[in-house]
Amino acid sequence: MNKLVLALLVTVGVGYAVWQQPQESAAVVAEVQKPVVGHLAPHFTLTGLDNQVYKVEGKRPKPVLLNFWASWCGPCRMEAPDLQRLYEKYKDQVDFYGVNVTNSDSPEAAAAFVQAYKLTFPIPMDVAGTVSNRYLIQAFPTTYLVDTQGVVRAKIIGMIDAPTLELELRKLLNEKP
């Protein structure tokens, strides 16, 4: 009888431990780097057109807008003036990174685009395409808003009009980590 009770207790204990494991790992999901709202933004370091180094790697002093684009993209051309205007308005509160997906473009075409649209925000160059792959970019433009804790708060696929993007920026700035 004692062996049966002991076997039952061990079985229940192991079952409980196995049942508890998935719940504990579910809390860790928020710490996983994924290009998904509510998860840490995938970390990266890229060199910009200005030869400066730009990073996204967790906590930061200001939230960041990541706009993935290519010079041949029509919607990117339409969106560029609005991004520049919003950058001028919010540059002290939000970092703007216009990530050129250079493996689908060229450095020369990207530089010409930046000059044509008089863009003054940083343009990190994703020459190998590794960052756009980590962010699962399938359409241009795609924009991510990342808070000061490094968590993705919004993902916008395709062109977004200036008033809607400004509303998203205001929501990002009003969030308390």
In this predicted structure, the answer to whether residue 145 has a pLDDT above a threshold of 80 is yes
Closest by alpha carbon to 153, among 124, 123, 130, 173?
A: 173
What 136-142 contacts at long range (C-beta under 8 Å, 24+ apart), as own/partner pairs, is 136/35, 137/68, 137/101, 140/68, 140/69, 140/70, 140/73, 140/75, 140/76, 140/101, 141/67, 141/68, 141/69, 141/73, 141/75, 141/76, 141/79, 142/67, 142/68
Confidence of residue 175 (pLDDT cuts 50, 70, 90): confident
Confidence of residue 2 (pLDDT cuts 50, 70, 90): low
In this predicted structure, the answer to whether residue 157 has a pLDDT above a threshold of 50 is yes
Q: What percent of the chain has pLDDT over 90?
A: 80
CB atoms within 10 A of CB 163: 9
In this predicted structure, the answer to whether residue 20 has a pLDDT above a threshold of 70 is no
Mean of pLDDT over the chain: 87
Helices then strands, counting H and E runs in the chain, come out as 5, 6
Termini Cα distance of the chain? 56
Q: What is the pLDDT of residues 35-74, one digit of tens each?
A: 999 999 999 999 999 999 999 999 999 999 999 999 999 9
